[in-house]
Amino acid sequence: MEMTTDTGAGEHIIYDRYKELKAFEESKAGVKGVVDAGIRKIPRMFVRPQDELTEDLAGHTEHSGSSIFETPKIDLQGVDQIDRREEIIHEIRCASETFGFFQLVNHGVPVSVMSEIINGVKRFHEQDTDIKKLLHLNGLVGGVNFGSNFDLYVSKYANWRDTLKCNLLSPEPLDPQEIPATCRDIAVEYGKHMMKLSHTLTELLSEALGLQKDHLRKMDCNECLSMNGHYYPACPEPELTLGTSKHSDPTFFTILLQDYIGGLQFLHQNHWFNVKPIPGTFVVNIGDILQLISNGKLKSVEHRVLANRVGPRISVACFVRPSINSSAKLYGPIEELLSEDNPPIYRATTFKEYTSHSRSKGMNGVSALNYFKLCSFA
Ligand code: OGA
Ligand code: NI
């Protein structure tokens, strides 16, 4: 596809976007490969329109990118003691209904494991490119793959980010031999901690919805776990692009670990708010499936990551989700939550159908959930 662009000086430059995307994909070296080539200006495929970058949907700017507002912090200490558990459930309910985001402290995962997985992901991305190339987009449903911009040809602009994806539980445990040697041992260990934390959070979220604590587990909402080790290279022109464009997660929920660099923002009342990196904490955000089955009570909130002049920024996002292979299991608003005053907003879907819709759409900033809304709520 050729596009003509006015440079402002009256000249027109022919820009062959398809050619640029294809060359990027064929390099199999991701955004880091672009940076390693020594560029000063970012390639055109990453350049976003200014209004997307400065977007402030309410038309006010005073709170944008603000840190005056703190993401709710939830302390899991004493989660098995009856009184404290009630408080935690209440806090999780409030945070999930209002912001869709919260930060976890005293979650039981050792800080050494948290810093080691960040190091492991960094090692993977910084090793010899030839080894990474072997894993490049090795089938999106396979056990492990490395890539950048899975939606390269679907979305209008590319993100300044590379990702190593390991389907740790799908729902069979991943054979550790499939995990790249640069991060194998720590990924296995991190995965065990994530499975435990995913189990605890699934119970708490069931209770936050007023259901039996095993309700969501019995629906197999948390049957699978995929770990996305993101690498956001330092960007020479961060004001022109994004690390990750606006999206909500195609998950049940997500447990995110970010390093100290920052840049993660979520949308609340049409303003972007920073999720400040706090050492030793995890960020949890509600995903689309949980919004759907809670009939819109818990919010899958849009978020994005700014590009940064410094870096790399490393983050590890663990997607807790149902299995993509089961075409029998339907996810729709939970019966027990519905009433005359609270009729279903969404139709039921399989996770497979949901995922294929979400992927075909790419990260265009429009929630995949809209497609599943019943006509009367569309
Ligand atoms: C994601 C995501 C944020 C980050 O993987 O869906 O939003 O900080 N990641 O990398
Ligand atoms: Ni996300």
Write out pLDDT tens, residues 52-109. 888 655 444 445 555 557 899 999 999 999 999 999 999 999 999 999 999 999 999 9
In this structure, which amino acid lies at residue 293?
A: I
CB 292 within 8 A of CB 333: yes
CA of 10 to the centre of ligand 2 (A): 40
* Ligand 1 pocket: which of 303, 304, 308, 316 to mutate (most atoms within 8 A of CB): 303
- E strands, the chain, are 2-6, 12-16, 73-75, 101-105, 144-147, 162-169, 224-232, 242-247, 253-258, 264-268, 271-274, 282-286, 303-306, 313-321
In this structure, which amino acid lies at residue 199?
A: H
| Nearest-angstrom CA–CA distance, 220 and 302 | 24
Pocket of ligand 1 (CB under 6 A): 228, 230, 244, 249, 256, 258, 264, 303, 305, 315, 317
CB 264 within 8 A of CB 333: no
CA of 2 to the centre of ligand 2 (A): 31
pTM above 0.75, yes or no: yes
Structure tokens at 271: 């303003």
**Closest C-alpha to 149, from 265, 33, 297:** 33
> How high is the pLDDT of residue 137?
73
pLDDT exceeds 80 at position 219: yes
Burial (CB < 10 A; 0-12, 13-18, 19+), residue 172, is exposed
Q: Distance of alpha carbon 28 from its chain centroid, rounded?
A: 22
| Nearest-angstrom CA–CA distance, 184 and 199 | 23
Confidence at 362, pLDDT banded by 50, 70, 90:
confident
In this structure, which amino acid lies at residue 251?
A: T
- Residue-wise pLDDT tens digits, 183-193: 999 999 999 99
CA of 249 to the centre of ligand 2 (A): 5
pLDDT exceeds 70 at position 139: no
- Residue-wise pLDDT tens digits, 222-234: 999 999 999 999 9
**Closest C-alpha to 75, from 90, 53, 60:** 90
Report cis status (omega within 30 of 0) of the bond before 110.
no
> How high is the pLDDT of residue 120?
98
| Nearest-angstrom CA–CA distance, 345 and 360 | 23
